[in-house]
Amino acid sequence: MIGGKRSGSAHAGGTYSIVARDARTGELGVAVQSHWFGVGRLVCWVEAGVGVVASQAMVEVSYGPKGLARMSAGVEARRALAELLAVDAERDLRQVAMVDASGRVAVHTGARCIALAGHEVGEGFACQANMMSSGAVWPAMARAFREATGDLAERMLASLEAAEAAGGDLRGAQSAAMRIARAQSTGSVWDDVLLDLRVEDHGEPNRELRRLVNLNRAYRHMNQGDALLGQNDVPGALAEYRQAAEIAPQIAELPFWQAVTLADLGHLEQATALFRTVFQRDPRLRVLLERLPAAGLWHGDIDTLRHILSGE
């Protein structure tokens, strides 16, 4: 269980996680699931261009920031973890994994972690688990990550889902989280984390995490569309907006902004048809469109706006 305090630590047993570096993009990520509320805030630590840490079992949260600080100073993952373990009197209760920006891996499963506990290391990643219902969990996670296709988020999701299919936490499931950072820092910390999602309390946290990851992809396409529009790449922007709407068709606001862009470009027939569909799904967006001119976000004439709002 994750809960009570001991020597400044939180008891975060019953947890499985993966830390990884994507060899293709250099992105760094961590994903976790546990039968405890809000596991992500304890376990998941990542910094662009530096590394990633998962600290679990009898969690000593400081392994996260201290591990990242050491790797940021140029200390490779194995040495960083060894230095922290050397001064930790309760290291036998810890399960900690690190991957640095070069893909070097370090992992420790303490001898007193609650059974069944273990880890498996692969190229640029590590899977670790404790208080599991089966010793097949961490090998299944590693195998799924190696065999999965897609981006880092998709491969880590596959690893979590394989853990659950192999038996998962002895007590069941409650919370999950995933964080992914860029391969290199942009110099703006608020722009360095590409994904930061938490499922704090849910009957099927891995399934809910997958849903959120999917939504994150949709909104990333929207953001990329806005960026391309700012560069006057209109075809590229519209393509990104279309992808966003296809990924998350249940969200009416995504095609709304696509329709606004089409209207700005003078494609009134396409824009009007799209607005009509959007307004049928969510009438509140009609009010939003009415408010755009005052904010300077409607670049067409008012007669065109009135025509669109009339639905003719």
Q: Which stretches within the chain are classed as H helix?
A: 40-43, 63-72, 77-86, 137-147, 152-165, 189-192, 205-230, 234-247, 253-264, 268-281, 284-291, 302-310
**For the residues 103-118, what does the mean pLDDT come to?**
97
The 3-state DSSP class for residue 29 equals: strand
The per-residue pLDDT for range 121-153, each reduced to its tens digit, is 999 999 999 999 999 999 999 999 999 999 999
What structural domains does the chain harbor?
2-203 (3.60.20.10), 219-310 (1.25.40.10)
The per-residue pLDDT for range 217-264, each reduced to its tens digit, is 999 999 999 899 889 898 999 999 999 999 999 999 999 999 999 998
Q: Residue 54 forms beta bridges with which residues?
A: 44, 97
- What is the distance between the alpha carbons of residues 112 and 90, in angstroms, rounded to a whole number? 9
DSSP state of 169: B
Average pLDDT value over all residues in the chain? 94
Whether residue 93 is preceded by a cis peptide bond, meaning omega within 30 degrees of 0, is: no
Nearest by Cα to 225 from 240, 214, 215, 235: 240
The dihedral of CA 72, 75, 77, 80: what is its sign?
negative
Q: Angle at which helices 268-281 and 284-291 pack, to 10 degrees?
A: 130
Give residue 12's pLDDT band: very low, low, confident or very high (50, 70, 90): low
Q: What is the predicted pLDDT for the residue at 5?
A: 39
The 3-state DSSP class for residue 57 equals: strand
The Cα-based distances of 34 to 16, 93, 214, 302 in angstroms read: 7, 17, 21, 54
CB 46 within 8 A of CB 52: yes
Whole-model pTM: value is: 0.92
CB 88 within 8 A of CB 66: no
CB 305 within 8 A of CB 293: yes
The yes-or-no verdict on residue 99 having pLDDT over 80 is: yes
What are 221's two structure tokens? 């396409």
